[in-house]
Amino acid sequence: MTKPLVLITGASSGIGAAIAQEMSAAGHPLLLLARRLDKMEALNLPNTLCRKVDVTDKSALIAAIEEAEQQYGPVDCLVNNAGMMLLGDIANQEPVEWKQMFDVNVLATLNGIQAVLGGMKDRGRGSIINISSLAGVKTFINHAAYCGTKYAVAAIAETVREEVAPKGVRIMTISPGAVETGLVNHTTSQGLVDDYLKWKDSIGGAVNVEDIAHAVMFMYSQPQSVTIRELQIAPTRQE
Ligand code: NDP
C-alpha cells in the first residue's frame, strides 16, 4: 500500500535530515523544506520533493505543500523541526537574535500547524510532531530567549492538541537534550560556543540524530488512536 506524505521542515541538516532518511526508508513520500536546497537534494531520497522555503514565509510554505499534495496526496504527518539556537547573555545579546529565534522556532511552527491542520481535521486523522527541546522543559543559563521559544512550542502544542483531539488529529512534542549537530554554531559569542562544547564533553557527548529520528518514527507509527503527547530524550549523563 502506498504510504502517506510526510512533511519535514529544516531537513537540510542535523535532526531533520535524519528524520527524512528514516521516513523515506519506511517508504513515505516526502516534502522537505529548508533554505539550503542543495543539502536536501544531496540526500537523494526517492519520491521526495525538496523545496527552498524559508518557513517564516507562510505563502511559500503553503505553495510547496499544495505542489507536494498534488503529487503524493495529503500531508499525513508534519514534523515541525526547523529551528535556531543563538545562545546569549541577555544583557548583551542583540535583540535581532531574539527575533530570529521567535520567528523560526515559534511563528514558523504556528505556520506549519495552520497550513496542514484544516485538512487533517477534515480527514479525521493526521499527526503533527513538534521538535521542541529540554530547553522547553527546564531552563539553562545563557539560553533565555531560546528557552522562551521552546517553552512557547510546548504551550502551543498542548493547546492545539486539546483543540483538535476530538477530531482525531494527534499533536506531539519531542524534547531532545543535547544532540550531535551544528545547531550551536550560529551563536555569535565564541566563548558561549566553547562553553557549550565543554559542557557537552563533560556529559560524555550528545545523542545522535538517528536517536531522535527513531523517536519520531516511534511516535508516528503508533496506532492513530494512540498519542504519545510528549517525549523527552537526552544523553543518559545529562542532568
Ligand atoms: P541544524 O542547525 O542542523 O538544523 C536546523 C534546521 O533548521 C536546518 O535544516 C535549517 O535549514 C533549518 N532552518 C533554520 N531556519 C530556517 C528557516 N528560516 N526556514 C527554513 N528552515 C530553517 O540543527 P538541529 O538538527 O540540531 O536542529 C533541529 C531542531 O532540533 C531545532 O528545532 C532545534 O531547536 C532542535 N533541538 C536540537 C537540539 C540539539 O542539541 N541539536 C536539542 C534540542 C532541540 P537551512 O539553514 O537550510 O534553512
ipTM, two decimals, is 0.99
Task: Give the 3-state secondary structure of residue 33.
Answer: strand
Distance 73 CA to ligand 1 centre (A): 26
Report the alpha-carbon distance of residue 177 to residue 200 in Å, rounded. 10
* Superfamily holding 5-224: NAD(P)-binding Rossmann-like Domain (3.40.50.720)
Active-site residue, from 146, 151, 196, 220: 146
Distance 189 CA to ligand 1 centre (A): 18
**133 φ, ψ (degrees, to nearest 5):** -175, 160
Confidence (pLDDT) at 1? 66
Q: Which of 32, 81, 33 is nearest to 57 (CA)?
A: 33
Q: Can you tell me which residue has the cell 560524555?
A: 204
Is the Cβ atom of 167 under 6 angstroms away from ligand 1?
Answer: no
Report the alpha-carbon distance of residue 189 to residue 195 in Å, rounded. 10
Distance 69 CA to ligand 1 centre (A): 24
pTM for the model stands at 0.98
Q: Among 179, 184, 193, 230, name the best residue to mutate to test ligand 1's pocket (greatest count of ligand atoms within 8 A of Cβ).
A: 179
- Ligand 1 nearest-atom number relative to CA 132: 44
Partners of 31 in the β-ladder: 7, 49
Confidence (pLDDT) at 70? 98
Which residues of the chain fall short of a pLDDT of 70? Answer: 1
Which H or E element spans position 163?
helix 144-164
72 is catalytic: no
Q: Which of 80, 60, 77 is nearest to 157 (CA)?
A: 80
